[in-house]
Amino acid sequence: MISKSQYLKGLQCPKALWLFRNRRDLAPAISEGLQFIFDMGHEVGELAQRYFGAGIEITEPYYKIKQAIQCTTKAAKRGADLIYEATACSESGAYSRIDNLKKVAGSNNWDLIEVKSSTEVKDYHIDDMALQRHAFTGGGYRIRKSILMHVNNNYVRSGTLDLQRLFTLEDCTGIVEDRLEEVGAKVAELINLINSRNEPEIEIGGHCSSPFECDYIPYCWDHVPDYSVYDIFSGRKLDALLQDNLLEVSEVPDNFDLTDRQAVEIRAYKSNQIHCDTAEIEAFLAQLKYPLYYLDYETISAAVPLFDNSSPYETIPFQFSLQQQ
């Protein structure tokens, strides 16, 4: 079986999915920054439930898949019209939870409402929702719409949170259905990959950090020098060097097409000499007038606005220091 998050991981990089399922020893600990993002997502999810009001929540742990599916089925059969954390699985082996499974009044149809802490619909959200629709349709549910519920960054807080203005619901049914045709075959392909004993051979590249930073970069990039062509080049120039298996900056050909900045950086590295434009530094310092002030500050950016007159993800300073010289 394969979950929604694993499906997305496999779309980004099949090797990352294989490592996740077969080499758990390589997975890093969750950083404080990542935990903050998780906590922020949970807060948004809880507020989304308050937005819709009373419903039945499936509280089975995520790893108890069969129990969660059974509880969802029972809730639906008992007439529940709003189920939070509903779970379903298709015959293909793809399973998923949905933040809100909402019954269409006067029918046997359901809407899938996925909640995200982002401020817009992103391409990988469509893959996310396509897998969900595949799982619930395969699980016997008649699905009408696929809706993405995300944060409205135009909302300005004034007093108590206004949940109706904090969130935006976008009907993504059309684009989700367009992508749905690909899901079944892709699920089968990824399940076969997971069950293989052989680690896939996938070259490193831009997909290692898009749309998410991969957990296995330390493993897959082990052969890359700490300072390499990846630190200087991108796009076609980087591709040209990689095609010739050039990773070391010292191996960049002298006649390679370089910008002025790249030329300075490579020349300094190859000669092991610091590049210092003394004239430019002196010209800059000559413009300064004393006393000089040095300002340092720290900020926070939260999905749910913390203060009046602030908006989602607005950058808010919470401490600073100002020194005079």
Q: Where are the domains of the chain?
A: 2-195, 224-286, 288-324
User: Residue 120's pLDDT band (boundaries 50, 70, 90)?
Assistant: very high
Which amino acid is located at 295 in the chain?
L
Whether 34 has a pLDDT exceeding 90, the answer reads: no
Three-class secondary structure of residue 300 per DSSP = strand
Angstrom distance (rounded) from CA 113 to CA 204: 35
User: Residue 28's pLDDT band (boundaries 50, 70, 90)?
Assistant: confident
Say what the pLDDT of residue 276 is: 95
Say what the pLDDT of residue 136 is: 98
Give 287's Cβ-side CA count (13 Å radius).
5
Say what the pLDDT of residue 63 is: 86
Three-class secondary structure of residue 312 per DSSP = coil
Whether 12 has a pLDDT exceeding 90, the answer reads: yes
Q: Which residues contact 105 (CB under 8 A, 6 or more apart)?
A: 81
Q: Which residues contact 280 (CB under 8 A, 6 or more apart)?
A: none
Whether 31 has a pLDDT exceeding 90, the answer reads: no
Residue given tokens 């990846």 in the structure block: 230
User: Residue 293's pLDDT band (boundaries 50, 70, 90)?
Assistant: very high
Three-class secondary structure of residue 299 per DSSP = strand
Per-residue DSSP letter, 199: P
What angle, rounded to 10 degrees, do the helices at 173-195 and 4-12 form?
Answer: 80
Q: What percent of the chain has pLDDT over 90?
A: 93
- What pLDDT digit, counting tens, does each position of 122-155 carry? 999 999 999 999 999 999 999 999 999 999 999 9
Three-class secondary structure of residue 12 per DSSP = helix
- Tell me what the mean pLDDT of segment 264-282 comes to: 95
Q: What percent of the chain has pLDDT over 70?
A: 100
User: Residue 176's pLDDT band (boundaries 50, 70, 90)?
Assistant: very high
- What pLDDT digit, counting tens, does each position of 60-107 carry? 998 899 999 999 999 999 999 999 999 999 999 999 999 999 999 999
The tokens for 25 are 């020893």
Average pLDDT, rounded, for the chain: 96
Helix (H) or strand (E) holding 3: strand 2-3
Tell whether domain 2-195 is in CATH 3.30.1490. no
- What pLDDT digit, counting tens, does each position of 231-257 carry? 999 989 999 999 999 999 999 999 999
Terminal Cα distance for the chain, rounded: 63
Say what the pLDDT of residue 162 is: 98
Helix (H) or strand (E) holding 179: helix 173-195
211 preceded by a cis bond (ω within 30 of 0): yes
- Tell me what the mean pLDDT of segment 181-205 comes to: 96
Per-residue DSSP letter, 228: B
Buried b (16+ CB within 10 A) or exposed e, 221-245: eeeeeeebbbebbeeebbeebbeee
Angstrom distance (rounded) from CA 325 to CA 323: 7
DSSP state letters, 241-255: HHHTT--BGGGS-TT
Whether 111 has a pLDDT exceeding 90, the answer reads: yes
Gyration radius of the chain over CA positions: 25
The tokens for 252 are 């960049």
Say what the pLDDT of residue 62 is: 81
The tokens for 250 are 């010292």
- What pLDDT digit, counting tens, does each position of 206-231 carry? 899 999 999 999 999 999 999 999 99
List, in sequence order, every beta strand (DSSP E) within 7-161. 56-57, 82-89, 94-103, 109-115, 142-151
